[in-house]
Structure 1
């Protein structure tokens, strides 16, 4: 797991949620494999949010599956 230079609080991570989702969506769109994605900071922060507040945030693995499904119809064109 990557280590950030500054430990973010849950509040800081919540504030960056949409940014982390955009980064994850971009990694999926770029065709990165799952192991490479799991080594990113955005996956780490999304996983921490899901672990800390599971009712409020989906797991990053679920988000990856959703983004892959969304990208599939576009690739068929």
Structure 2
């Protein structure tokens, strides 16, 4: 498996500004029933990890966010 590479270096401010977009992308990947391994190779996952690593009090661990969104989507599909 290859590691994701990024040619653009983003500042924490730019990452923070795009946080809702990364959450939306994660939600879409979950809705498409991608495996956790596939999701962990995504750009949004790596950027969510970076935010959590740099600002852990403000941003959840991507694993926690994944579980939360998965439960949320499962609950919505039941109704």
Q: TM-score scaled by structure 2?
A: 0.90
Distance in 1, matches of 2:74 and 2:23, equals 18
State the Cα deviation string for residues 6-60 of structure 1 (Å, max 9, x = none).
Answer: 0111111111100000000110111000000000000000000000100010011
Q: 1:29 aligned to 6, 28, 31, which one?
A: 31
Indicate the structure whose relative CO is greater, using CA pairs within 8 Å and at least 6 residues apart: 1
Distance in 1, matches of 2:76 and 2:50, equals 30
Alignment gaps of 5+ in structure 1: none
Alignment gaps of 5+ in structure 2: none
The runs of 4+ residues in structure 1 deviating greater than 2 Å are 73-77
* Alignment RMSD (CA, Å): 1.1
Aligned residues: 77
